[in-house]
Structure 1
Amino acid sequence: MHFASPTRRHLLTATAALGATALLGGTAHAAAGPARHPWPEQFPLPDGWRPEGIAVGPGPYAYFGSLGHADLYRVHLPTGRGAVVRTGLDATHPTVGLKSDRYGRLFLAGGPSGELRTVDARTGQVERVVQVGGTFVNDVILTPGAAWFTDSFTDALYRLERGARGEPGEARTVRLGGDWVQGDDFTANGIERTPDGSALLVVNAFAGGGTLMRVDPRTGIARAVDLGGALLPNGDGLLLLGRTLYVVQQWQNAVDVFHLDAAGTRGSLVTRIEDPARFRIPTTAAAWGDRLYLPNARFDVDPPTPDTDYDVVAVRRM
């Protein structure tokens, strides 16, 4: 979910309650359950892991993909202890963004592989691989009827249908238009829903110096969200909790917090979360209880090595 970084270029060379009639209806996806302290506020990932995305749930478990290989890492949040989940795929199937559903299924954005994948979160068994021919499938968000994926080098979103129990169905491409401007480098990044579920929110790192776009899922027409002059030049992962939108600004080592209107047409900057001692280029965030969890991707380490250390940090929600 990052852009304009030497590490990503290296990889390319060798991813409140809503009305019942809302088009993308459902509820904002903070995982339920209290984070009883003392839970660890920082825990390690395996050396050389190269994380970027994070998915939380079902239960107090977090999942991390890798830019370097196809395996997953599952962490028990109350203890910070984790284990590798083998998928059986080779290193040509990395994972960028990922999300989990309540049925224990993970939806994975395959980065330069151009894949949309689903796997069993417990066993790592691959359920479905859809090749969409994308150049860099970056991030994913789940809605009641579909999983939506961004592509950083193509002016398109990918929609993967979800059945009654979340099972993956047919995929189709939705071309982006309207205010959408496609740059020569990483453009589309994080993706979310509007608070009322009527549209999608997508980071465009190129347009206007970094813009949040509201996208009509039926037509692909994008309109810039009025953020009161705030820019997202390093906008990466998005997380919506009610009408609060968290935008991870990776190279700024910060999380910008916005309050949105219900339709997601405008928002105001509330605060910025910074942690200079612990943030090492975080890329995205997921919530459990009163905390946000962010993987440190360390894109400033180029090239990464098998000994490069990685970790995850927790901060309080606003």
Structure 2
Amino acid sequence: MLGTTRRARSWVLLVGALTIALGVAPAQAAHQPEQIILPGARSAEGIAAGTGTTFYAGELFTGNIFRGDVRTGTASTFVTAPAGRMALGLRVDVPHRLLFVAGGFTGQAYAYDLTTGATRAVVQLTSEDSIINDVAVTSDGAWFTDSLAARLYFVPVSATGVIGQVRTLALHGPAAVVLPGFNNNGIQATADGRTLVVAHTNSAVLNTVDPTTGDSATIAGVSVPNVDGILLEGRTAYVVQNFSNAVTEFQLAGDLSSGRLLKTVTSRGFEVPTTVARFGDRLAVVNAKFDTGFPPTATQFEVNVVDR
């Protein structure tokens, strides 16, 4: 866990960023959503698709994890986290039967057993000021972003599912820009794991990152104010723009050097969405409700399921 002073500094930075973002106007052209309640949740942030129609969603300030089904429209508690944990971005590693979770202000990452919900590992990524914000899974491990620093963290996983020691990757180029508030945020990897795509909130762009050197380049033609979580499927990127209350879909070039906007999805049910998972022609989007405050004061949190 972060110490009290370190946590307070991170908290101030985050609240400041959210306050600035409140001035952004919402997007247009709404869809009517289906809503799946996260029972008992008092905050929310991350979502990830599991197998079939299963999803996993996190409770930001407690670290609890819910497991739900977009077909039945139900969800229930899957992991009751020990005190002191947080849950921001999360991602499923199906081959290793793991659920990786970004630990926010704690500087930690968590790995849970995908079958039982038992904790498989607690990895201290850093002891410095940090917001461990999101995670991407490759065939050999998990990458985590830090919204307060020009670095990524890699947690290796062996073929037999053994979780190894963290490695820190220093960033260079546009992904290394660090300003007050959120910097590197959502993250995804290409199917071969040779390139990472990282959202930079302050710069309102997506950057590619070489996972070996840390060199980065901005993807031209992709302007995404309030960018938060992202989803990459082939060369299609789904980008959550939280205070814009929108998910934008971009077609990226084969070399990931540029992209063009395909569509913008909005919904009357969106209330500061932060992350997205796809199930066929539908998107599952989590409401963080940061418009009510930080921590949010809303009494209900849900996943919106909308047509893409």
TM-score of the aligned structures, taking structure 1 as reference length: 0.82
Structure 1 partner of 2:170: 175
Q: Which residue pairs with 1:187 in the alignment?
A: 183
> Are residue 148 (structure 1) and residue 139 (structure 2) matched?
no
Partners of 1:170 and 1:300 lie apart in 2 by 38
Q: 1:81 to 1:300 in 2, by over 3 A?
A: same
Matched, 1:158 2:149: no
Partner of 2:132: 137
Structure 1 residue ranges (4+ consecutive) displaced by more than 6 angstroms after TM superposition: 7-10
**Separation (CA, whole Å) in 1 of partners of 2:296 and 2:261:** 37
Q: CA deviation at 1:47?
A: 4.2
Aligned with 1:74: secondary structure? strand
User: Is the deviation greater in 56-65 or in 136-145?
Assistant: 56-65
Q: 285, 299, 303: which is aligned to 1:308? A: 299
**Residues 213-247 of structure 1, C-alpha deviations (whole Å, 9 max, x = no match):** 111110111111112xx422200111112211110
| Aligned residue type for 2:87 | T
- 2:274–2:287 contact (8 Å) kept in structure 1: yes
The residue aligned with 2:271 is 280
Once the 2 structures are TM-superposed, how far is the Cα of residue 83 of structure 1 from its aligned partner?
1.5
Q: Relative to 1, partners in 2 of residues 1:292 and 1:157: Cα closer, same or farther, differing over 3 Å?
A: same
Deviations 1:162-183 (A, max 9, x none): 2114442221000111233111
Alignment partner of 2:55 out of 48, 51, 62 = 62
- Equivalent position amino acid for 1:253 in 2: N
Please state how far the C-alpha of 1:305 moved relative to its aligned partner.
6.3
Shift of residue 58 of structure 1? Answer: 2.6
Task: Give the Cα–Cα distance (whole angstroms) in 2 for the partners of residues 281 and 272 of structure 1.
Answer: 15
Q: Which residue of 1 aligns with 2:280?
A: 289
1:127-182: per-residue Cα shift (whole Å, max 9, x none)? Answer: 11110225110000101112100000011000111211444222100011123311
Equivalent AA in structure 2 for residue 278 of structure 1: G
Aligned residue among 3, 6, 10 for 2:15: 6
Cα separation, 1, equivalents of 2:118 and 2:257: 40
Residue in structure 2 matched with residue 14 of structure 1 by the alignment:
none
Structure 2 counterpart of 1:131, one-letter code: Q
Instruction: Report if aligned partners of 2:249, 2:263 keep a CA contact under 8 Å in 1.
Output: yes
TM superposition shift of 1:120: 1.2
AA aligned opposite 2:170: R
Please, which moves more after superposition, 284-293 or 111-120? 284-293
1:219 to 2:220 alignment: no
1:122 lines up with 2:115 in the alignment = yes
**Amino acid aligned to 2:302:** D
Paired letter, 1:215: V
Can you give the 5+ residue segments of structure 1 that lack an aligned partner in the other structure? 11-39
Provide the aligned length of Structure 1 versus Structure 2. Answer: 280
Whole-angstrom CA distance in 2 between matches of 1:279 and 1:272: 13
| Cα shift at 1:54 | 0.5
Which has the larger share of helix? 2
Distance in 1 (alpha carbons) for counterparts of 2:155 and 2:149: 17
SS where residue 170 of structure 1 aligns? coil
Contact 1:188 1:202 (C-alpha < 8 Å) held by counterparts: yes
CA distance in 2, matches of 1:154, 1:162: 24
1:100 Cα deviation from its structure 2 partner: 0.8
Deviation at 1:304, TM superposition (A): 4.7
Alpha-carbon distance change, 315 to 5 in structure 1, aligned in 2, over 3 angstroms: farther
User: Mean Cα displacement is larger for which, 175-184 or 151-160?
Assistant: 175-184
Report the RMSD for the aligned CA atoms in angstroms: 2.3
Q: CA deviation at 1:190?
A: 0.4
Question: Does the CA-based 8 Å contact 1:48-1:307 persist in structure 2?
Answer: no
Gaps of 5+ in 2: 1-11, 20-32
| Matching residue of 1:261 | 253
User: Which range moved further: 246-255 or 178-187?
Assistant: 178-187
- The aligned amino acid for 1:309 is Q
Equivalences for 1:70-85 in 2 at 5 Å? Answer: 70-85=63-78
Q: TM-score, normalised by structure 2?
A: 0.84
